[in-house]
Amino acid sequence: MGDNTKNVNIFTQSKYKEKCKILSNDTWFDNVRTNRDFLKKHSGIIFMVDRAEIIDYKNLTMVTPFGTTDITKLSTGCKTLLNILYLMETTTENVLVNVTEAGDKVLDIIFETAAGTNIDLYLGRVACPANTNLRYNVNGNIVEGDADFLDSLDFD
């Protein structure tokens, strides 16, 4: 790996869970969903993750492959990613975000997004990252490769 490889800081031990700024992404998303300018700016993320398109920003109505609904029906993974982007834009402090409920598809996007930023991740389940261009710092230990990553997961 090159010198400009970005670290993704991941914590899996239960003692870190209580330190999360965002423990429930569904609940915390209420802070984000009322910021219509933010949602417009990240409409591409919403489409990429959930194939959803906001059609009415006043009422926060969107069209998905499953029909028309409101923005609260985004997947938890999409909400998690939007919450992380919102924190990246609104705070410089280091924050820990629970990403346990995000699905594997969006988890790799979350890893890429959080790499080298002020966002640390709490992961309370087994996952195997697909991006080999990142360096994973799991519970304070730098790991490389799928096997080392899986071996480093400690859910005490």
Write the pLDDT tens digit of every residue in 60-118: 999 999 999 999 999 999 999 999 999 999 999 999 999 999 998 899 999 999 999 99
d(CA 119, CA 139): 14
CA dist 15 → 19, 43, 124 (Å): 8, 35, 11
Angle between helices 43-50 and 76-90 (to 10 degrees): 150
User: 114-136: per-residue pLDDT in tens?
Assistant: 999 999 999 998 887 777 778 88
